[in-house]
Structures are given as structure tokens and as C-alpha cells.
Structure 1
Amino acid sequence: MVVSRRAAMRGASPALVAGVKGALTVLSVALAGTLALLAAGSVRMARKVVTPAGRVPDTRILSLDTAAQTITLSRTSDTELPGRYGLFTTGTADYVKLGSVLSESETSVTRKLLTHVGTDARLAPDAAFSGWYFDRPEQLHLPFTSELIGATVGPCPAWLFPAGDGDVWVIQVHGRGTTRAECLRAVPLFHSLGITSLVVSYRNDGEAPRSRAGAYTLGATEWRDVDAAVGFARRRGARRIIVMGWSMGGAIALQLSLNSAHTDAIAGLILESPVVDWRIVLEYQARAQRVPSAVSGLAIEALKSEWASPLTRTGGGIPFDRLDVVARAAELRHPILILHSDDDGFVPSDASHDLVVARPDLVELEVFDVARHTKLWNYDQARWSDSIRSWLDARGVTSALAGAED
């Protein structure tokens, strides 16, 4: 004879019934608590992705030798890299340039200082390692003017470095959490090729105006500010425009290529360590920070959703499908050069490789190793420059400039 669960419970002792109900209550509370923790964690992650933030220290100054002009830093995957870099500091200097590694141990790296630091210098221990190298346009010793680009969000500051006859321009787009100074190291190369450089800002980057929500949309709206810069360049005489994007600036450049009304003037894209698919990047960073996949998955879903925007403070859903350029590869129409390191450490190169496979007719990938995120110029300036120069020459850009000069 089969006895129903309800009947069995009716025949059970009061103590057993109370025990079962208590266990169910505990399980329910535990489940609710777990879900609440997952939800809270996902909201925190989502906000972190789209909220413009200041520079976060990632190394420590262990010692400073002003006589020898050397500095010793805690060892990280970045501070041990060969090449020339910068260091954001606080104290008597806010930024110093760094040269080659002179010595290293398991925990520290000593590098040559390329910015003179006086004997009275006082620098706080916490510092941030940088690939910028140049942090002000005056350091390039090239003529430039400060401009304002009339975007829909308001006037966006830019630096204009004229070169050649003004027919060919490159518009430089910086990445997430940085400013336009990130792009300065590319200007001398383009200037030597007779290409005018316009180094731009965009909404919520700390220099351009703030949007209503004050949050990044990961390229979904920022491209409009760069599109305004393309219009500015055309009014100033540009006939062929290269758009160069760094990191998230690569995502912005790709959205510009797909959506701009000035598509006929865009001669191609150069992407340095670019974001090609945000979901791959966010999942990679979550794993690197040991964030549970359930939390990162919920964070992405929250960012996608209109209903969650009051919690994520995005002002609307992030269109991850539109930002996935591998999936939209058939829509691409401009030649693209990608410079990406397989050892990037922040934006994995997987999607860059996938884009070449999807559009080998348009996309060329120059693969680096050892070099870290947006630090390819710093690690191997000669190869980085030769890659860009050769690609421009193959597109007929540099040869046309040489002909114009003749």
C-alpha cells in the first residue's frame, strides 16, 4: 500500500514534524542568503565595470636612489617587463619615466629613472605602473593646439598635432579608466609619416563632459563622440582618416566603423590590445580575480537588462550582442590592423584571433608575446612601429603621402 507524503506527515510525531519544518526553514534562509550574496556580488561587479574610476596603485616603491637615479619597485608581471614605462606617484612628483631593468630579485625590480629626481624628493610607497611613458603633449616637442570637439554630450577636449599636407589624419581613442595622454606615444610615428594626429576625449573619461548616467556604456554610445571628431577632421580638410583605438578605445573604434555616417572617409582601423567582445573580457577578468562564475554571469545579465539599470547605474542596458564584433564580422567594411599580445593579462587576445579567422580579407593581426596590456610600444617600439608603417604602406597611405611631398 502506498502512503502519501501528507498522510505520512499526519501520522508522524509532533517532534518529527517540527524538526522537518525547522530544517526546511533553515534551508530556505540559507538559500535566500546565498542568493542575496550572489546578487550583491553581481551588482558590485557590474557597477565596477561601468563606473569611471581613478587610477589604482598596483606596485610599491621600495627604495629611491637619487645619486644613482634608480628606483626599486615591488615585482609584478608589469614592473619586470623590459622597455620604457611610466610610474604614477604621489608626493614631490606625480609621474616619473622609467628605463630598463638594472637588477631584480624574487620580490623586487630596480629600474633606471629617466626623469631626474632630486635629492629632496619624497614619494609615497603606493604607485601605479603605466605604459603611457609621455603624460603631457609638450613632452613630444611637436607643434600642437588644444581643440574642442562639438559632440552631442558637449565640448570634448582634444589635442591636434598637424603634419604633412593635412589630407591624412589619425584619430586616437584611449581606453577605459585612462585619458587621452595614453595615446601620445603613437603621435611621433604618425608625425614622421606626414599624418596629422587628433587625440580625443569622450564622455565620462574625466576630461570630456559627463553623460546623464555618468557611466561607461563600453563603446555603445562613446563612439558618437569620436564620430564628432571624424566630422571635425573632415571640416579641417582630412580626406582619409585612420582611427586608432587602445583597449576599450578599440571597442569604440569598431562601433564607429559599424555605425558612422562618415564611413566613406574612414580608411582603416588600428587596434592596440582591443576589446572585440566584452563578454570574453569580463569572464576572463572574473576568473583572474577568482570571482565565481555565477556572480560574473549574473553581473553580465544585470548589465544587459533595462530593469537592472537602477542598480547598475548604467542608465540603460548594455547591448553586448551589438558590441560582439566577432558575431558581427560580416558587417565590417574597413581594413583593420590589430596589435595584441597573447600575454596581455587583462584583455585576452582570443577575440582578436577569432576576428582574423572570421574576416581574413579585412583583418590583419600582429601577435606579440611577453608584452602586457597596451604596453606593446613600450616593450618593442621598433616592431610596433614597423607593423603600423608596413600596414599603412600596404594600404597605399604612406606611399600617397610620399607622392604628395614630391
Structure 2
Amino acid sequence: MTTPEPLTLFTADGVRIDAGHLPGDRARCFVVVHGFTCSWRQDRLRDIAAGLHRHGGVIAFDLRGHGRSSGRSTVGDREVLDVAAAVAAARRRGYARVVVIGFSLGGAVAVRHAALHGGADAVVAVSAPARWYYRDTVPMRRVHWVIERRAGRLAVRLARGTRVAPQGWNPVPEAPHEVVGRIAPAPLLIVHGDADAFFPLEHAEQLYGAASEPRELWVEKDFGHAEVAVTPDLLARIGTWAATH
């Protein structure tokens, strides 16, 4: 596997972001946005970056409060500034097009970044939530315990190294489904599995229904959740989609 070029990025609000760059075809660069408690340095994310690298350059990074990045996670709010820093880094390296691809929480962040800040030539949201405060599955009830309780925040910091901001949201940021219609004219691809234990298919359908053309929805049979469910075949199809949109 190609060793990524290490990058240190800084957001508009002064957060230091740890990132890696796999140089590739200057026609496009994929900016990879991981899910909650993950890191671009994990083997699964490195595999995803390697798969996308067949279709262009790749910049993968740790969201604030994750891995070697500074700051604390705001669980989808100010993370849009982290994506903006990565997109700007891709532009500085001369890539003609930037495709932002996010997984789970990263998918929500990718949607919100493209809608609120622009800068992405295409967006891919994999296993993304459409709305906040969803608690109708056991995994999401656990996630809310981690985010909202002091004991949960301590547990996730010790177990995964993820630092969550304790003060919560004020004000509550726009939910992905409330802003996804603003992504156009950049194309949007929504990918969701029918076996997702965190967010059922209704989230993908709500996002798709609120989005503007051009948009696509891929429902993947027997596909679970986010990074752990991604296959080489899916990455190849996403790479082909990016090359033709």
C-alpha cells in the first residue's frame, strides 16, 4: 500500500487537523470523512482510501476530537469546517474536481458542508442520518448515552480516544435533510444498506426526497453500516460514478 503524505491542516476556527494524502490523477480527489469514533489511520479507513485511490487522489483526515486532531467533537456541527480545510488542501494541490465522501456521521457532515459552504464538485453520503436525535435503534441509544452523559464521554475517550464536547448544541445545527436541497447543482449520491442496524432505510429516503437533481439513491442489499460494511465492489462503483458525474 502507498504510504500517505502526512498533512497538518487548520480550520477556520483554529482546530488542528491530522490528515494524509495519497497523490493521484489530478482530474479528481476524494476527501474521505469518517464516522463517529473512527480515524483515517485505522486499517478499515486505510483500505477505503486505497480503493478510492484507483480513481484519483485521496485526502483522508481525522475529524476534530478524533485521533490525532485537536479540539472536541461537536457531533456534526462545526465539523463542516474540518471538511472545508481538507477540500481547500485538495484545491491547493491542483485537483480539478473534489468529491467528498462521508460515512455515517461523516456522511451527515459531507451533506452539511456541501450545502452550507459549497466547494465540493460531488458528494457521496454512505449510511448517513437524515435527522438528529434518532433513538429508535439500540446502537443509536448507546451513541446518545456516549454523547449526552459524562460517564459516556469518559468511556468513549478511554476506549476510542474520541473527545466529545460536553456542552452540547446551542443552537441546534440544521439537520442534513433540512439543507440537502442546497447541494445542487453538484451531484449527490446516497448509499444505504437494507441491513443497517443504526439508521434504517427511511433516513436515506428522507435525504433523497429532500435533495434536488442531480441525485441518486443506491439501496445495497444485505449491506450493514458505514465503513465496516463497505466492499471493494462498492468502492469501485463509487469511483466510476465519480468519474462520470
Smaller-chain TM-score bracket: 0.7 to 0.9
Match of 1:7 in 2: none
Structure 1 residues 175-324: aligned runs within 5 Å: 175-180=35-40, 181=42, 182-193=44-55, 195-210=56-71, 214=72, 216-260=73-117, 263=118, 265-279=119-133, 282-285=134-137, 313-314=166-167, 316-317=169-170, 319-320=172-173, 322-323=174-175
Match of 2:179 in 1: 328
Residue 252 of structure 1 aligns to a residue in which SS? helix
- 8 Å CA contact 2:135–2:141 kept in 1: the answer is no
Residue 121 of structure 2 aligns to a residue in which SS? strand
* Percent identity between the two aligned chains: 22
Structure 1 residues 333-372: aligned runs within 5 Å: 333=184, 334-359=186-211, 361-372=213-224
Number of matched residues?
221
Q: 1:389 aligns with which of 231, 235, 239?
A: 239
- Normalising by structure 2, we get a TM-score of 0.80
Name the aligned partner's letter for residue 127 of structure 2.
Answer: S
Unaligned runs of 5+ in 1: 1-140, 300-311, 396-406
Question: Shift of the alpha carbon at 1:356?
Answer: 1.9
Change (3 A) 1:318 1:351: farther
Q: Which runs of 4+ in 1 moved over 6 A?
A: none
Question: Shift of the alpha carbon at 1:272?
Answer: 1.5
Look at both structures and tell me which one has the larger radius of gyration over its CA atoms. 1
Name the aligned partner's letter for residue 388 of structure 1.
Answer: I
CA distance in 2, matches of 1:155, 1:221: 13
Question: Shift of the alpha carbon at 1:155?
Answer: 2.3
Match of 2:154 in 1: none
Question: Structure with the greater relative contact order (CA < 8 A, sep ≥ 6): 1 or 2?
Answer: 2
- Normalising by structure 1, we get a TM-score of 0.50
Question: Shift of the alpha carbon at 1:327?
Answer: 3.0
Question: Shift of the alpha carbon at 1:159?
Answer: 0.8
CA distance in 1, matches of 2:129, 2:208: 14
Name the aligned partner's letter for residue 61 of structure 2.
Answer: V
- 8 Å CA contact 1:366–1:387 kept in 2: the answer is no
Name the aligned partner's letter for residue 327 of structure 1.
Answer: E
> 1:124-157, CA deviations, whole angstroms, 9 ceiling, x for partnerless residues?
xxxxxxxxxxxxxxxxx11421110122333211
CA distance in 1, matches of 2:74, 2:201: 21
Unaligned runs of 5+ in 2: 149-164
- 8 Å CA contact 1:153–1:203 kept in 2: the answer is no
Residue 29 of structure 2 aligns to a residue in which SS? strand
Change (3 A) 1:316 1:355: closer
- 8 Å CA contact 1:167–1:238 kept in 2: the answer is yes
- 8 Å CA contact 1:267–1:335 kept in 2: the answer is yes
- 8 Å CA contact 2:80–2:112 kept in 1: the answer is yes
CA distance in 2, matches of 1:199, 1:174: 8
Question: Shift of the alpha carbon at 1:344?
Answer: 0.4
